[in-house]
Structure 1
Amino acid sequence: LFRSLNDDNATAEARRGTRQTLIRVLENILRLIHPIMPFITEAIWQKVAALAAVDGDTIMLQPYPAADDQKIDQDATNTMQWVMDVITGIRNIRGEMDISPAKKIPALFQDGSKQDQQYLNDYRNYLMVLAKLDDITWLNKGNDAPEAATTLVGHMKVLVPLGGLIDKKAEQQRLQKEIEKNRKELQKAKGKLSNEKFIGKAPENIVNQEKERVANFESAIADLNGQLEKILALPD
């Protein structure tokens, strides 16, 4: 909606439609939260009601918003879920690989369906802005992909090439430290579980907690080793 209002290429009709949608949503939200925020919602509603073409002297006498299953657009829901999954996946890669959220990065889409490609064509601009991308490339079957961090959106792979994005040596050292730290914690947890006195005296929930910690540390080490392998595979 924000982009529609600020897009120089948007038509006057699109801008009007966007503004009307914002007003209608705001008017519904005001009625929704009025019971717990009566005074401020009343004050704002008095300004908004006329713009939303709603008659009435006060928000207190307006009907409470009710869900209408007939208005649920499953196609729109599926579309936005796809967009959110792509953005979330790329953001997770940033976090895992310690890539700055402010740095623009490229993304590659591989093994996607025709529907995935249509989504990309329709929502490329949103992905570019919200995922902080400088380029999106669709890989056709048979195209080689560079060494990259990968996330799945359905059956489609979203890849972020790592070359040039990180300091290989610094990232290698960081990952090795994290692996060593997790290994030490893993040994501590395993040590407790191998101690018969601990097993015999500790409450069941504490024992289960240690078992869960062991599983979490093992999973973390496996993930970190996977990241380290990708880093080591990058050209110097």
Structure 2
Amino acid sequence: RPLVQRVLVGVLDGILRLVHPIMPFVAEAIWQPLNETAFERGLPTPEPAAESVVIAPWPRFPDVWHDAAMETRMGRMQELIRAVREVRNRYNVDMKTPLDVFVRCSETIAEDFRTLQPFIVALAGVGRLECGSDTGKPPQAASHVTPEFAVYTSLAGLIDMAAEKVRLEKQLAEKRKHLQAARAKLANTNFVQRAPADIVQQQRDLVADLQTQIKAIEENLNELCQE
């Protein structure tokens, strides 16, 4: 038990140092009573704590604790979860609705995903997870492709494909209209020369943003049209 307590306190100490720049008052409010109960703490070797988290040094840990392989595994899991959440946002699927997810990948990566399945299910709201090199794209599924694996999130029965297509086409037409107007303004020599530099830059940023939005909508439409 003492070892477990020392580890827990050491981890909390490191967390408080890390979050202090963005949560200074909360971190300090926890740091002070922690000093009263465990003034000597830290990992791997306990040492006297600073009087305030404000002056505490940034946490440092032994190089031997650095696990590159685990970081790679966690990075893949985060990318998978991000892909599923992005589909939810794109198609307005409620987080309470479980999604069936199919991942085409090597058997090594598939085994990792199976091991991490409880976390994937909890963080992405996955109902069914299938992984493997033979896994294919099911009908009515959104795609997300990375260099190491492809994620197919099934939307069958969750959205009205025809209605979604109409909505996206309407949205695309509006974005193209706005883009045309923004480009016309930038093509006006008088506007570019006489308007304040920040206003001109705002217009250029608007063009770039609209182009990004249009590309995303076109990709969504292509996805729907492939079904």
TM-score, L = length of structure 1:
0.74
1:84 counterpart = 2:78: yes
Give the whole-Å Cα distance in 1 for the aligned partners of 2:154 and 2:117: 18
Give the whole-Å Cα distance in 2 for the aligned partners of 1:143 and 1:68: 43
Give the whole-Å Cα distance in 2 for the aligned partners of 1:66 and 1:22: 15
Query: Hey, what does 2:11 align to over in structure 1?
Result: 25
Give the whole-Å Cα distance in 1 for the aligned partners of 2:128 and 2:58: 42
1:60 counterpart = 2:51: yes
CA contact under 8 A between 1:93 and 1:151: conserved in structure 2?
A: no
CA contact under 8 A between 2:137 and 2:152: conserved in structure 1?
A: no
Structure 2 residue corresponding to 1:46, chosen from 30, 33, 36: 36
CA contact under 8 A between 2:101 and 2:129: conserved in structure 1?
A: yes
* 1:88 CA drift (Å): 1.2
Structure 1 residue corresponding to 2:129, chosen from 123, 128, 136: 136
Gaps of 5+ in 2: none
Give the whole-Å Cα distance in 1 for the aligned partners of 2:169 and 2:146: 29
CA contact under 8 A between 1:31 and 1:41: conserved in structure 2?
A: no
Give the whole-Å Cα distance in 2 for the aligned partners of 1:202 and 1:65: 46
CA contact under 8 A between 1:27 and 1:49: conserved in structure 2?
A: no
Query: Hey, what does 1:10 align to over in structure 2?
Result: none
CA contact under 8 A between 1:49 and 1:55: conserved in structure 2?
A: no
Query: Hey, what does 2:90 align to over in structure 1?
Result: 96
1:18–1:157 Cα change, 3 Å: farther
CA contact under 8 A between 2:17 and 2:58: conserved in structure 1?
A: yes
Q: Which moved more, 1:223-232 or 1:200-209?
A: 200-209
* Residue identity opposite 2:95 in structure 1: P
Give the whole-Å Cα distance in 1 for the aligned partners of 2:151 and 2:85: 11
1:148–1:176 Cα change, 3 Å: same
1:228 counterpart = 2:203: no
CA contact under 8 A between 1:107 and 1:133: conserved in structure 2?
A: yes
* 1:98 CA drift (Å): 2.0
Give the whole-Å Cα distance in 2 for the aligned partners of 1:123 and 1:142: 18
Give the whole-Å Cα distance in 1 for the aligned partners of 2:4 and 2:205: 49
Gaps of 5+ in 1: 1-12
Q: How does 1:112-127 map to 2 (within 5 A)?
A: 112-127=105-120
Between Structure 1 and Structure 2, how many residues are aligned? 219
1:72 counterpart = 2:66: yes
1:173–1:49 Cα change, 3 Å: farther
1:185–1:197 Cα change, 3 Å: same
SS of corresponding position for 2:51: helix
Q: Which moved more, 1:154-163 or 1:224-233?
A: 224-233
CA contact under 8 A between 2:145 and 2:151: conserved in structure 1?
A: yes
1:199–1:64 Cα change, 3 Å: closer
1:149–1:58 Cα change, 3 Å: closer
Give the whole-Å Cα distance in 1 for the aligned partners of 2:205 and 2:197: 12
Structure 1 residue corresponding to 2:168, chosen from 175, 178, 183: 175
